[in-house]
Amino acid sequence: MESGTQQEWDEYRQRKRAERLFEADQVWSALVAGGVDSETVLAIDFVHFGGSQAQIERLGQQLAENCTVTTEPGPSGYWLLKGTTRPYGVTLSATDHLAWVEFMCDVAADHGCVFSTWSLSAPSLDITINSETFEGGT
């Protein structure tokens, strides 16, 4: 997308946002099927990507307020921001989870980046659900 126009980037981010919201429903359904409820402690791991190190680092500065984040070069000249709530856990309802995914999409877009993937782990139930399992669905 480096050579793409701003409009192409905006359309791409909107398409990815719609995919992430679809995936959020699928992820939560799989968690519930595994025994997760709004009282279950979860660890969240996530990845964003951006076209420049500066974009990713600005996004990382904002997200570092509530998570541990690292940045690294990614494939094809992109940069990755990887984050986690570990070693701390969070509790979420289905509504909270969807709001978190929306926030991650929106905050990424604010910095010219894209929210890519995430996983939720419930150590007490020995279950991990990764959004990539449902990637691309609409």
pLDDT digits (tens, 9 = 90+) for 21-31: 999 999 999 99
So what's the pLDDT on residue 137? 55
User: Band of the pLDDT at 1, cuts 50, 70, 90?
Assistant: very low
pLDDT over threshold 90, residue 122? yes
Please report where in the chains the tokens 């974009």 appear, as a residue. Answer: 55
Its sign, for the CA torsion 11, 55, 98, 37, is positive
| pLDDT tens digits, one per residue of 6-16 | 888 788 888 99
Q: Which residue has the higher pLDDT, 9 or 106?
A: 106
Average pLDDT, the chain: 92
So what's the pLDDT on residue 103? 97
Rounded Cα distance between 70 and 35, Å, is 31
Name every residue whose Cβ is closer than 8 Å to that of residue 5 and which is 6 or more positions away in sequence.
none
Entry pTM: 0.91
- What is the set of domains in the chain, with CATH numbers? 6-132 (3.30.70.970)
So what's the pLDDT on residue 101? 97
